[in-house]
Structure 1
Amino acid sequence: MQANENSTHQTKDPVLLFFNRVIAQVSRVLAAIMVMVIIWGVVDVVYVLHQRLIAPPFMLLEIKDIMATFGAFMAVLIAIEIFHNIILYVEDNHNRQLAVEIVLGTALMAIARKVIVLDFNEVGAGHVYATATVALALSVGYYLIVIRAQGAKRRMSRSIIPSANG
């Protein structure tokens, strides 16, 4: 029987065990591809930054160049977070709570990237409102699932630990 202390899926079925092994291998392939994407992204950031620095005016960046660089950095950071999420699926004892936290954190980074590179002269008010709504929803979800849960864990650990005076 496949035993995974954090997983709710336990089976004796050989077909499902085979499928689980296939998924684990696919996850490993995705992790390897994501590492290549991350390396490619870093090389791209360095190349684009180099190209913009050697273009006239020499060694000066315009605000649009800085914003594009920030966007490229954020894209690499998002890829790294996605890699971490893939790794959770590869590990036998993946933690579903941690996976949700990473997905929410990654989504927050992605929407932050969108806000950073957003050109308000090129998008309409509806797009801005939709982006704000997504950012708010993700922030509330992150607060409820991650921040609030961490506070509850701290309160529980403080109530378990006896005080030094008592």
Structure 2
Amino acid sequence: MKIDNNDRLIGYLQHIIHWSVRVLAILMVFVIVMGVVDVAWTLYQKLNAPPRFILTISDMLATFGAFMAELIAIEIFINITVYLREDVIHVKIVLATALMAIARKVIILDTEQADPMYILALGAVVLAMSVGYWLIHRLPDSRHVGE
């Protein structure tokens, strides 16, 4: 059987993409570790600033935002590792990551400073993402259809 040059090229390009995704996974671990260090350092600074060992509401919201950013980074890492194992992008995982990112935005949102249209748009995005996730979650797994 003769191997078509296009098949060889596609195989070569897929190999490059596979290694690129591995590099991204390594870089994402670095980002996660540095983010954890940053969260710990920020928390240390907030607790040592006068009044000592007390977090204000704005301190807690900033800390929650940093924690959520770390959780989003971990979710992105999971997306990368799932892609490496299965060579597909799972929409459910991507939507869950997007929901977490929009939830972070809602948690750290300063409603006093935000424009009402911005809050309405943010609500629409939350609703759309939630409905999308719910629909994807309700769909039967295509690997088991027909069994």
Using the size of structure 1 for normalisation, the TM-score is 0.79
Deviation at 1:111, TM superposition (A): 0.4
The Cα of 1:35 is off from its aligned counterpart by: 0.3
2:118 counterpart residue number: 127
Cα distance between partner residues in 2 of 1:114 and 1:68 = 11
Does 1:26 pair with 2:20?
yes
CA–CA distance in 2 between the matches of 1:71 and 1:139? Answer: 20
Runs of 4+ in structure 1 off by over 3 angstroms are none
Matched residue, 1:81: 75
1:69 — aligned with what? 63
Q: How many residues align?
A: 139
Q: Which runs of 5+ in 2 are unaligned?
A: 1-5
Conserved in 2, the CA contact under 8 Å of 1:24 and 1:89?
no
User: Secondary structure at 1:56's aligned position in 2?
Assistant: coil
Q: Identity of counterpart residues, as a percentage?
A: 51
Q: How does 1:147-162 map to 2 (within 5 A)?
A: 148-149=138-139
Aligned partners of 1:53, 1:83: CA distance in 2, in Å?
A: 30
**In the alignment, structure 1 residue 108 sits paired with structure 2 residue 102:** no
Please, which runs of 5 or more residues in structure 1 have no aligned partner? 1-11, 161-166
AA in 2 matched with 1:112:
A
Amino acid at match of 1:111: I
Question: Which residue in the other structure is 1:60 paired with?
Answer: 54
Q: Which residue of 1 aligns with 2:130?
A: 139
Tell me how large the CA RMSD over aligned residues is.
1.8
**Structure 2: distance between partners of 1:58 and 1:139:** 40
Q: 2:84 maps to what in 1?
A: 90
Q: CA deviation at 1:94?
A: 3.5
